[in-house]
Amino acid sequence: MTEQANSDIHRIREKILSEPDVILEDRDLMRALIDANERTMGGNIVDLRGIAMQRLEERLGRLEDTHRSVIAAAYDNLAGTNQVHRAVLTMLEPTGFEAFLRNLGDEVAQVLRVDALRLVLESHQSEGDTAVKRLGDVLTVVPPGFVDAYGSAGRSNTAPARPVLLRQTRPNSELVYADKATWITSEAVLRLDFGPGRLPGMLALGSEDPHQFKPSQGTDLLAFFGGVFERQMRRWLD
C-alpha cells in the first residue's frame, strides 16, 4: 500500500472517530458496512444484529411514508378549509337577492374551483317566471319531488338521504346543468332545508374533472358551506 493511500486511510479514520454520527445517519453507508461484515463472517453464520437492523430499517421506512402521508393530508385539509371559508365570505358580500344568486354562480364558483354551480329549487310554479328567466344561468326550478329523486339516483330505496352527496353525474343532469351537462363529469349535491312549510332545494357543484368529487372524500367542509347557504336563503325567503 502506498504512502498516499495510508495517508488517505488515516485521514478518513480520524474523520470517522471525530464525527461518528456522520456514519450512523447515512443509511446507505451503514448498509454497506453491514454487508461487508456479513461477508467476512461467512455464509453459515446468522447475524441477528443484521436481521434486526434490516427490520428496523424497513419499519423506519414505513413510518416515514406514513409521516409524509399525514403531513400531506393535513396540508390538503387546511387548504380546503381556507377555500371554503373564502367562498362563504364571498357569498355573504351581496346585499340584494338577485346579486346574491348571480355572485353564487360567478365569484363563489371560482373560489370553489368548480365549473358549474346551480341552485335547484322545487316549486309548483312554472319556469316561465320572469325572475327565473333572468337567473337561468344559476337558478333551476323543478317540480316537487325532484330533489329526492335526483339525490337517490343509483342508491337503494332504503338508504337514508345524505345532506352531501359526492359522485359522478347522473344521466338526468341536463335538467340541472342545462347546456353544461355534456362536460360535467363529477358533482357534489348539497341538500337544502328551507324550514317548515317550504319545499326543499339543493346546490349542485359540477366539475369537468371526474376525480374532483368522489364518494371516498370527506364532506364536512361542504356540509358547512351548505349550512351557511341554507341559513342565508331562509333570511331571503322570510
Q: Is residue 76 within a helix (H) or strand (E), and if so which, with residue range?
A: helix 48-91
Cα four-point dihedral sign 82, 83, 84, 85 = positive
What is the set of domains in the chain, with CATH numbers? 3-64 (no CATH), 81-237 (3.30.450.40)
Confidence at residue 158, expressed as pLDDT on a 0 to 100 scale: 47
Query: What pLDDT tens digit does each residue of the chain (238 aa) get?
Result: 566 666 777 777 777 777 777 766 777 777 777 676 666 665 555 555 666 667 777 777 777 777 777 776 666 667 778 888 999 999 998 888 888 888 988 999 999 999 999 999 988 775 556 556 677 688 888 889 999 888 876 555 545 567 899 998 776 788 888 888 888 999 999 999 988 888 999 999 999 999 889 888 888 899 999 999 999 988 888 7
Distance CA 232, CA 74 (A): 30
119 forms beta bridges with 139, 203
Cα four-point dihedral sign 197, 198, 202, 203 = negative
pTM equals 0.66
Confidence at residue 195, expressed as pLDDT on a 0 to 100 scale: 86
- Given a contact cutoff of 8 angstroms between Cβ atoms, the answer to whether 141 and 128 are in contact is no
pLDDT, tens digit, for every residue of 6-27?
677 777 777 777 777 776 677 7
Tell me 13's DSSP state.
Answer: H
The length of the chain is 238
Confidence at residue 75, expressed as pLDDT on a 0 to 100 scale: 63
Confidence at residue 131, expressed as pLDDT on a 0 to 100 scale: 58
Strand, helix or coil at 205? Answer: strand
Start-to-end C-alpha separation, the chain: 95
